[in-house]
C-alpha cells in the first residue's frame, strides 16, 4: 500500500493520525532511530524526517537508514528545501509554502527537487504548507507572510487555493516549539472547506489534551516533534497523544 493511502485509511477508520517528526539536525542517527523505535512502540502511525536548517545530505541519509533498521513504520520526508530529498525514505510531503514571500519556497525548490524525487522512486504526497503566527524558525527561514492567529478566514483562503491547485493535503503550521498550536476555530474553518482533503496540524502540541482539541476541531493528522525531544519516556508520551486522538 502506498503511504498516502495508508494514512488516509487510518484517518477514515481509526480517527486522527499521529505523525512523529524527527529533525536529523537535532541528534545523531542512532538517537533518532531510538526515538522512532520508541514512538512506534507507543503507537505512532508514521515518521516524518526533516527540518528547516542542516537537515540534508549524509546526516539525512544516515538518519533514515538507522530509523528503517529499527521500525517498519513509513518514513516521510518533510523537506526544508530541495536538499531535503533522500532516496531512503518511503514518501515525501511534496509541499509548497503558499504564504511565503520568496518564490524559492513556492516553486523553485520544488523544481530542483522534482527530478530527484522522480529518479528515486519515492512517493510524492502533494501538500499546501501554511505557516501561521508565531511561525518559529520555519516562518523566518521560509520568509512567510505569517497568517494572523485570529484570522481563520485567511487560512481558509489559502487552503482553498491549495485544494483548487490540486494539493491533497493542507498543513497548518504554528512553528516547531510554538507555545500553543493554531486555534480550534482556524482548524474547524479550514477543515470545513477542505471536505475530504486531509488536514495536518503541527507546532506546539505537547499533551494529549491539546492533541484532542485539535482532533475534535477537525485535524485529520497531528504532528509532534519538540515534546518528544524533551521527553524522558517517548513511548508513554506517544501513548498519551495517540490515546487522546483515536476513536
Positions in the binding site for ligand 1GP (CB under 6 A): 21, 173, 176-178, 202-205, 223-227
Closer to ligand 1GP by Cβ: residue 29 or 204: 204
**Residue 73 DSSP code:** S
Work out how close the CB of 43 gets to ligand 1GP at its nearest, in angstroms, rounded to a whole number.
17
Closer to ligand 1GP by Cβ: residue 48 or 121: 48
Residue nearest to ligand 1GP (CB): 202
> What are the φ/ψ torsions at residue 28 (nearest 5 degrees)?
-75, 160
Work out how close the CB of 122 gets to ligand 1GP at its nearest, in angstroms, rounded to a whole number.
20
Residues 6+ apart with CB under 8 A from 242: 18, 42, 43, 44
- The Cα 175–Cα 172 span in angstroms is 9
- For residue 28, the SS3 value is coil
Nearest to 111 by CA among 94, 88, 125, 99: 94
110-139 exposure pattern, b = at least 16 Cβ within 10 A, e = fewer:
beebeeebeeeebbbbebbbbbbbbbbebb
Work out how close the CB of 115 gets to ligand 1GP at its nearest, in angstroms, rounded to a whole number.
25
Work out how close the CB of 119 gets to ligand 1GP at its nearest, in angstroms, rounded to a whole number.
27
Closer to ligand 1GP by Cβ: residue 167 or 201: 201
Q: Which residue has the cell 503558499?
A: 98
- The Cα 216–Cα 236 span in angstroms is 22
Work out how close the CB of 97 gets to ligand 1GP at its nearest, in angstroms, rounded to a whole number.
12
Closer to ligand 1GP by Cβ: residue 11 or 228: 228
Closer to ligand 1GP by Cβ: residue 62 or 224: 224
**Grid coordinates standing for 154?**
485567511
Work out how close the CB of 237 gets to ligand 1GP at its nearest, in angstroms, rounded to a whole number.
11
Closer to ligand 1GP by Cβ: residue 104 or 207: 207
Amino acid at each position: 500500500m502506498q503511504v498516502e493511502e495508508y494514512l488516509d485509511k487510518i484517518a477514515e477508520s481509526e480517527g486522527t493520525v499521529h505523525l512523529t517528526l524527527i529533525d536529523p539536525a537535532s541528534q545523531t542517527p542512532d538517537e533518532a532511530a531510538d526515538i522512532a523505535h520508541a514512538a512506534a512502540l507507543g503507537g505512532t502511525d508514521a515518521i516524518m524526517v526533516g527540518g528547516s536548517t542542516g537537515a540534508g545530505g549524509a546526516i539525512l541519509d544516515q538518519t533514515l537508514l538507522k530509523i528503517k533498521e529499527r521500525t517498519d513504520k513509513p518514513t516521510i520526508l518533510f523537506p526544508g528545501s530541495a536538499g531535503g530529498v533522500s532516496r531512503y525514505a518511503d514518501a515525501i510531503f511534496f509541499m509548497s509554502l503558499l504564504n511565503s514571500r520568496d518564490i524559492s519556497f513556492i516553486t523553485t525548490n520544488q523544481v530542483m527537487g522534482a527530478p530527484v524525487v522522480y529518479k528515486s522512486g519515492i512517493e510524492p504526497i502533494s501538500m499546501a504548507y501554511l505557516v501561521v503566527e508565531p511561525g518559529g524558525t520555519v516562518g523566518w527561514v521560509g520568509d512567510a507572510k505569517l497568517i494572523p492567529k485570529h484570522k481563520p478566514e485567511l487560512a481558509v483562503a489559502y487552503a482553498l487555493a491549495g485544494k483548487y491547485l490540486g494539493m491533497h493535503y493542507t498543513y497548518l503550521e504554528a512553528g516547531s516549539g510554538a507555545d500553543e498550536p493554531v486555534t480550534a476555530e482556524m482548524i474547524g474553518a479550514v477543515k470545513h472547506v477542505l471536505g475530504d482533503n486531509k488536514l495536518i496540524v503541527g507546532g506546539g502540541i505537547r499533551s494529549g489534551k491539546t492533541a484532542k482539541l485539535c482532533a475534535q476541531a477537525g485535524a485529520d493528522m497531528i504532528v509532534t516533534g519538540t515534546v518528544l525531544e524533551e521527553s524522558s519516556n517517548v513511548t508513554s508520551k506517544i501513548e498519551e497523544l495517540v490515546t487522546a486522538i483515536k476513536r
